[in-house]
Amino acid sequence: MYQQVLDASHHGHPTVVERVHTGRPVRPRVVINPNFLQFAHEHRSTGGIGRFLNVSRGVVRSALLRQGLVEPQAAPFADPPSKSTEVPEAPLGLEDDILDPDYAVPQVMPADIADAAPPLPPSTGDLSTIVDWELDSVLLRFRTHFRRAGISMLDGMLRQLGHRVQRDHIRESLCHIDPVHRVFQHIQIR
Average pLDDT of the segment spanning 72-76: 73
* DSSP assignment string, 12-47: TS---EEEE--SSSSPPEEEE-HHHHHHHHHHS-HH
Amino acid at 9: S
- CA dist 90 and 53 (Å) reads 33
Average pLDDT of the segment spanning 12-36: 82
pLDDT tens profile 86-101: 555 555 555 554 444 4
Which range, 3-17, 58-72, 118-132, 137-151, has the best average confidence (pLDDT)?
Answer: 58-72
Domain ranges for the chain: 2-67, 97-186
* DSSP assignment string, 94-109: ---GGG-TTSPPPSS-
| Mean pLDDT (the chain, rounded) | 75
Its sign, for the CA torsion 39, 22, 188, 4, is positive
- CA dist 134 and 7 (Å) reads 47
Average pLDDT of the segment spanning 148-170: 87
Position 190 scores a pLDDT of 52
- CA dist 19 and 12 (Å) reads 19
Q: What angle do CA 9, 15, 20 make, to 5 degrees?
A: 145
Window from 42-56, 75-89, 93-107, 109-123 with minimum mean pLDDT: 93-107
pLDDT tens profile 118-156: 555 554 557 778 888 898 888 888 888 887 788 888 888
